[in-house]
Structure 1
């Protein structure tokens, strides 16, 4: 994934993909309707940001193939803000599908808000590194190369989230450089890491690749070596108070299908279902 700038162009595969989507969701919905579920034309989705680019690309294709409408509610996957998904569900707000990071979905399954057994993993997101567009591209292809690059850097930034905590508290320690990079590495609490890099305020930035790619003015060098990588998994499940479980299941099946994998990959995520054969 060296030198990535933007997601891939999916234009040539759209017609075939739409046909496959139609066949897939028709079969899934028919199975549910045959078991007595009521037909509905809206699927309400609660979703947090990490899977957003893939969802925004694939959602309209799902709607066109099925005739259903996706009603989307956005909010943080965790936390106590009024719009946070756990808060919405706790106060009884309904949805058909929940798409969030895997551990947050597990929390809602344990709380009885998502149907047990309905969880499906869609994709995982690797931590990557970015530099300002046009800047020299350092080597991070191995543990030793990553260590040398970080020691040579003038400044390093990472996000104020679980991945940032991992970088600060574990990655630097595992590389044996925590004391040597402490003074030049900083957590970014209120701004995108990629924006800080694009503005020239820092030399190197770490964040999930899916969050780095959409920002202009940076080049994504690649992902961390496998030995020190930390993945974030994005998953979907059927909400316990779903009004359209057939539509929910159809959407989940589609987003986890081989035909959806190329678009997911194009947003910087790693699909957990192999691509369909041509």
Structure 2
């Protein structure tokens, strides 16, 4: 694969789950420390993979760890340089200053979903894909989906703000990114689901200092201390998706 030209910046493809931490703090800190600008594209991992499959390659990719491993096996990213960043769970949010539904148990979660006027979730995001499967497992898919607000991509909590839905389902870090909503909490044990994210250089940028510097910075102790403020947890490094 052709090597990336030295164009004075790093092109980043990143999952939405870490967007707030990057946009509000980490990318600016990286540029201040290194003098290298970062041009970022934020999308669900599935959408980023489609862009790469069509021939659009970043210098650095942040995506679900399992997907990064698959891309490494295909020779698209440099798996040897992959570093785990953080993880987050699927949760539920409501409009700020409205009553919080009960979701402490799977039974309470089911009742909350069944009682909702409309539940918003993402069609292409990892959280939405998991939630659709969970609804089927809980036996309420037909009932909930009959009134659901399914967004193609982006932050589902926006649908709570504009009145399309009264509940938003997404990664906790993505729910926290939207001002004007309250995160009720992650899903309870028995319905919980954690996803880990990793950073990796693409093979087009393998060995190039700016790309490697960005990956290392995003996995540094300085960066890890930031993720918690944005609804993210320390990565375990194994990439497992608990459910």
Q: Is the Cα contact below 8 Å between 1:261 and 1:273 reproduced in 2?
A: no
- Give the structure 1 partner of residue 128 of structure 2: 164
**Once the two structures are superposed, what CA deviation does each residue of 1:119-146 show, in whole Å capped at 9, x if it has no partner?**
1121122111111112101111221221
SS in structure 1 opposite 2:183?
A: strand
Q: Is the Cα contact below 8 Å between 1:120 and 1:252 reproduced in 2?
A: yes
Q: Is the Cα contact below 8 Å between 1:128 and 1:208 reproduced in 2?
A: yes
TM-score by length of structure 1 reads 0.70
CA drift of 1:114 comes to 1.6
Unaligned runs of 5+ in 1: 1-39
- Give the structure 1 partner of residue 37 of structure 2: 70
RMSD, aligned CA: 3.0
CA distance in 2, matches of 1:179, 1:94: 39
Unaligned runs of 5+ in 2: 1-5, 238-243
- Give the structure 2 partner of residue 30 of structure 1: none
Indicate which of 44, 47, 54 corresponds to 1:87.
Answer: 54
CA distance in 1, matches of 2:209, 2:154: 39
CA distance in 1, matches of 2:118, 2:48: 33
For 1:36-51, list aligned pairs within 5 A: 42=8, 44-50=10-16, 51=18
CA distance in 2, matches of 1:71, 1:61: 11
Indicate which of 19, 39, 58 corresponds to 1:52.
Answer: 19
- Give the structure 2 partner of residue 11 of structure 1: none
- Give the structure 1 partner of residue 144 of structure 2: 181
Indicate which of 254, 261, 267 corresponds to 2:217.
Answer: 254
CA distance in 1, matches of 2:48, 2:173: 25
CA distance in 2, matches of 1:201, 1:211: 18
SS in structure 2 opposite 1:265?
A: helix
For 1:22-41, list aligned pairs within 5 A: none
Larger C-alpha radius of gyration, 1 or 2? 1
For 1:234-253, list aligned pairs within 5 A: 234-242=197-205, 245-253=208-216
TM-score by length of structure 2 reads 0.79
- Give the structure 1 partner of residue 162 of structure 2: 199
- Give the structure 2 partner of residue 29 of structure 1: none
Residue 106 (1) aligns with residue 69 (2): yes
Indicate which of 269, 273, 278 corresponds to 2:232.
Answer: 269
Change in Cα spacing, 1:42 to 1:273, as seen in structure 2 (3 Å) is: farther
SS in structure 2 opposite 1:197?
A: helix
CA distance in 1, matches of 2:193, 2:39: 29
